[in-house]
Amino acid sequence: MSIEPRARVAPERVLPIREGPVAPEMARQQRVVQRICARASGMDVGVEELPPGGLQVWIDTLEPIGEEESWVLHHRMAREVSLVGWHCEADAGRLLVLGWSAACLHHRVRLLQSGLRRLADFEQTARQAVELAGQRPEDRPTAQVVTATCAAVEDRLRWPHRLAELGDFDRSSALPHLQLLLAQVMGLESRVAQGCEEHLVMARVLSRAVCERYGEHRDLDRARRDVLSETRRWVHASSMIRGSATARPSSAARPQMSLTERRIAASVINHGAPRTISTPPRSW
């Protein structure tokens, strides 16, 4: 009996022949996957539909890259895409993005819950905000200093960039247990997005306060100490920040707030409603 040689799983790409236009839902998924993979690899990537379902992704460069580097990049992309909840398979030549995975979605839930716990602590954001991302107010206008400080805080949080990559992509499944998981994920994402916005509000208020204090006496170290000392007790008693507009501590229960503390409170109240974070493209 003759045995035919086993077919080799070719590492090279075999692009599908597209028949007709891509469905809008698939096109939106392609854009999401392309954004994630481009950020993860730092290179241009190609994305195509993979019949009968799914996507395949590859490094799209004019010059070929080595097999070892290609393997690393495709597996790095697979890790990042799987964090959204899709099952992925990768080799040295391509990445396959298949359907929703319950295991991957459970992992995303755990990541989001961990992110929420970390977002409950505002101490690191306060310290980073008063440092002004290493800038000096005399060198740049206050608005530029505040913008750069908020960008540095946003980079540390990472979640704003990752959530922005998903955009308005509507995630759904015909399987009830996966749909429940997706609903849980999207609910947690909304809470994480709001938590990140509260940190950015604090960074904006504190960095501006440091610039204003510096303008009064031209002593940057003193301005940082003053703003941070005023803010510290408010950070530790941050029920208003975490609860946004609906969580106002009673006047009898709280000490007299400084000007900086009142600004933080007012800013959070005015920005308490969740919004979609639209900053372009990194989890805790």
Task: Convert the pLDDT of each residue in 115-127 to its tens digit.
Answer: 999 999 898 999 9
Would you say residue 79 lies in a domain? Answer: yes
pLDDT at 191 over 70: yes
Please count the CA atoms within 13 angstroms of the CA of 283 that sit on its side-chain side: 18
The DSSP H or E segment spanning 96 is strand 95-100
Same domain, 66 and 149: no
The whole-angstrom separation of Cα 136 and Cα 47 is: 44
Share above pLDDT 90 across residues of the chain, in percent, rounded to a whole number = 57
pLDDT at 54 over 80: yes
Could you read off the pLDDT of 194-219 as tens digits, one per residue? Answer: 999 999 999 999 999 999 999 999 99
Would you say residue 275 lies in a domain? Answer: no
Query: Would you call 152 helix, strand, or coil by DSSP?
Result: helix
Same domain, 88 and 110: no
- The residue among 100, 121, 152 that closes a domain is 100
Same domain, 37 and 63: yes
Nearest partner of 194 among 116, 279, 274, 117, judged by Cα:
274
Spatial contact of 226 and 151, defined as CB atoms under 8 Å apart = no
pLDDT at 119: 94
Domain hosting residue 87, numbered range: 24-100
How many folded domains does the chain comprise?
2
Same domain, 208 and 84: no
Would you say residue 225 lies in a domain? Answer: yes
Please count the CA atoms within 13 angstroms of the CA of 57 that sit on its side-chain side: 33
The whole-angstrom separation of Cα 45 and Cα 36 is: 10
